[in-house]
Structure 1
Amino acid sequence: MEITGTAQHAAWQSRSLPPVEQLRPGLWSLPVPIPHNPLRYVTVHVFALDGGGLGLLDTGWESDAGWTALTDGLAAIGGSVQDVRGVLVSHLHFDHLGLAARVRAASGAWVAMHPADATAVAALSRTAAADAVAAEVRFLIGLGAPPEEARADVGGAENLAGFLRMAVPDRLLEDGDVAAFPSWSLRAVHTPGHTPGHLCFAEERTGLFFSGDHVLPRISPNVSSTHRGEADPLRSYLGSLAGVRDLAVTEVLPAHEWRFRGLADRVDALTAHHEARLAELLAAIGAHPGSTPWDLAAHLTWSRPWEQYERRMRIFAVTETDAHVRLLAGRGLVTSSGGAVPTWTIRPR
């Protein structure tokens, strides 16, 4: 794999934001910070459109600092948020969709997503924050969390309120649709797994591949079970990886970290990572039969000691563990006790 986003990579190493960069005629990358998150920023891609105006791919985390970064970045390339005609959203997460409502209010731009994520955002917009908290707590208890720890990790309704006010899209993009960005040929590639409606975009004239969170150069994106999500999200993710592996791509432009070449090599590395993780989890289930996903997460290898995991980091780890358990079950390797809080053991052969 070859790093092509050298300024992005250097900024990552120095723990700073990368610069606004012009990548091609009429195409720029613009970093928007993510508060209190090890990913540090999301890359918004900005397209100059025939006939005037700009198009955005993703918008950044909704915060005053994020809004300032987005508007200052647009000013740096000679534009403004009022020039935005349309917003493509790779997926529903807050660091990608968060600022879309402000952009739309300021510019009148349309907002487009895949129907699966659009449906989820619409449902969230109709949900009271207290109800969202209660649903997530119930889901974690169903994965084996002690009720008091589930409530502590999810936190109060104020922690989710912003997520329930995200922009409901007014346009839908299915797999294979070409986005309405004049002078560009951005074909939507449905890549479920990270979210049910995750979209990548293949720019057919240049060979550029905007991979969102689907393929990142350094880490594997979180693939988790959710109370409203897919039954087997990791199976979907691995299938989506295989689906993009052999695309004719000149450069990969992800939403985090840095640009690179070598899509097939990176897909192979991500696939191998998950197969190794599945093997580690299978061994943990064998060593600790009758465990819940909450229990099993503590027996896996993480980037820091398990005792340091709490709140949203622990939720992500446990729900990611559950996604791997579901795939093992789908492969017929483990079996569930059933009941309100299922436990898992190796399936007898």
Structure 2
Amino acid sequence: MNRWEDIVQVPLPLPFALKIIHAYLIKGEQGYTIIDTGLHTEEDLSTWKQAQKEVGWSWQDVEKIVLTHYHPDHYGLAGKLQQLTGAPVYMSETDYQQAKLFLDRESDMPEIMADFYRKHGMGEERASQIPGHLRSFCRWVEPHPEPTFIKDGTSIRLGDRDYVIYHTPGHADGHLSFFDPERGWLIGGDFLLPKISPNISLWPKCNPNPLGTYLQTLTEMKSLPVKKVFPSHGPVFDHYVERIGQLQQHHAERLQKMEDFLIQTGGATAFEVCTYLFGADLSIHNLRFAMAETLAHLEYLRLADEITRLEKENRYIYSVV
């Protein structure tokens, strides 16, 4: 576990491609604040208990639990930790609603998502795997927390310092980041990662243009005087403005690559574009995110009137104008 003054980085294991999520523990006079939680697994609970031994704190010492967003690796243990600590859980209202939409056992989102992917060209063999795969995450997020909602433009006490709350959507509609203006430190969740591009996904019933939103977030946040970023994946880093520029360039290049493919093919489904970009040999987990990322870029181009979308034989075909 790495440490910076009052902040401890806690690496928690994940049973999928990212392998590790970095949660953070912030020490204050009133107790400890946990930033993001990992999944509700025995491995992640054991890691938190090991952090207690190494740092010297107990569940009763936890003052609050704060979530950057609703994705299972950030949100999953929040309800269990709330039971263990009695501490309030803070997150955006948007992301709590989406946690229930995607991760509640009674939600029909798994079936909606499978139909959505069929409409965009995914074959029945893969699409039929989507509902079971999505519902497999429920066990990793139960029990759901009972949160207190926080929002952009206000401040929150983390440890002994006041952090400004910034709404940094794109990766998740209600994603929040936390900025300490005195030190120039940003606890950024998945808003800005040092080595990989945050997944920007288009989902049913959510933001219809998440890539447009994310690019706007990058532009708006670029002027913030950030000296150090504490991300959820990858090492703490200080090349904030440079990294924003790299991600802007990355998405520009991907958009151009998609347009070139559509010109070459004369039109294609999102699934065909996805296969071109990411390959055909993907697990259902990786395919779900690859499709959602592909759709975010295609819909960005469509809404910018760069490409069109027509329905043919009950499937959407994207073409260059």
Q: TM-score range by the shorter chain?
A: over 0.9
Q: How much has 1:163 moved relative to structure 2?
A: 5.7
Mapped contact 2:7–2:27 kept (Cα < 8 A): yes
Percent identical pairs in the alignment equals 25
- 1:328 corresponds in structure 2 to 301
Question: Among 48, 69, 75, which residue is 1:70 paired with?
Answer: 48
Q: How much has 1:166 moved relative to structure 2?
A: 5.3
Amino acid at match of 2:295: D
Indicate whether 1:346 and 2:320 are aligned: yes
Question: Among 184, 189, 203, which residue is 1:207 paired with?
Answer: 184
Secondary structure of 2:99's partner? helix
Amino acid at match of 1:43: H
Q: Distance in 2 between matches of 1:116 and 1:38?
A: 26
Q: Residues 88, 206 of structure 1: CA spacing in aligned structure 2 closer, same or farther, 3 A cutoff?
A: same
> How many residues are matched?
320
User: How well do the aligned residues superpose, as a CA RMSD in angstroms?
Assistant: 1.8
Q: Residues 249, 235 of structure 1: CA spacing in aligned structure 2 closer, same or farther, 3 A cutoff?
A: same
Mapped contact 1:127–1:164 kept (Cα < 8 A): no
Q: Residues 141, 163 of structure 1: CA spacing in aligned structure 2 closer, same or farther, 3 A cutoff?
A: farther
Indicate whether 1:40 and 2:19 are aligned: yes
Amino acid at match of 1:110: P
Indicate whether 1:107 and 2:85 are aligned: yes
Secondary structure of 2:22's partner? strand
Mapped contact 1:112–1:169 kept (Cα < 8 A): no
TM-score, reference length from structure 2:
0.94
- What runs of 5+ residues in structure 1 fail to find an aligned partner? 1-19
Q: How much has 1:157 moved relative to structure 2?
A: 6.9
Secondary structure of 1:224's partner? coil
Moved more, 53-62 or 265-274: 53-62
- 2:285 corresponds in structure 1 to 312
- What runs of 5+ residues in structure 2 fail to find an aligned partner? none
Secondary structure of 1:299's partner? helix
Q: Distance in 1 between matches of 2:102 and 2:292?
A: 19
Deviations 1:43-81 (A, max 9, x none): 11111122x311111111221001100121122111022
Q: Residues 244, 157 of structure 1: CA spacing in aligned structure 2 closer, same or farther, 3 A cutoff?
A: closer
Secondary structure of 2:113's partner? helix
Deviations 1:140-193 (A, max 9, x none): 112211222211355357524326635244211111121143521111110110
- 1:292 corresponds in structure 2 to 269
Question: Among 128, 133, 152, which residue is 2:129 paired with?
Answer: 152
- 1:337 corresponds in structure 2 to 310
- 1:61 corresponds in structure 2 to 39
Amino acid at match of 1:145: M
Deviations 1:232-277 (A, max 9, x none): 0000111111111121112111011101111000000000000000
Secondary structure of 2:315's partner? coil
Mapped contact 1:200–1:212 kept (Cα < 8 A): yes
- 2:28 corresponds in structure 1 to 49
Mapped contact 1:122–1:168 kept (Cα < 8 A): no
Question: Among 112, 118, 142, which residue is 2:96 paired with?
Answer: 118
Mapped contact 1:121–1:166 kept (Cα < 8 A): no
Mapped contact 1:201–1:211 kept (Cα < 8 A): yes
1:207-246 mapped onto 2 (5 Å cutoff): 207-246=184-223
Indicate whether 1:280 and 2:249 are aligned: no
- 1:90 corresponds in structure 2 to 68
Amino acid at match of 1:319: A
- 1:31 corresponds in structure 2 to 11
Q: Distance in 1 between matches of 2:134 and 2:259?
A: 36
TM-score, reference length from structure 1:
0.87
Q: Residues 137, 152 of structure 1: CA spacing in aligned structure 2 closer, same or farther, 3 A cutoff?
A: same
Amino acid at match of 2:298: V
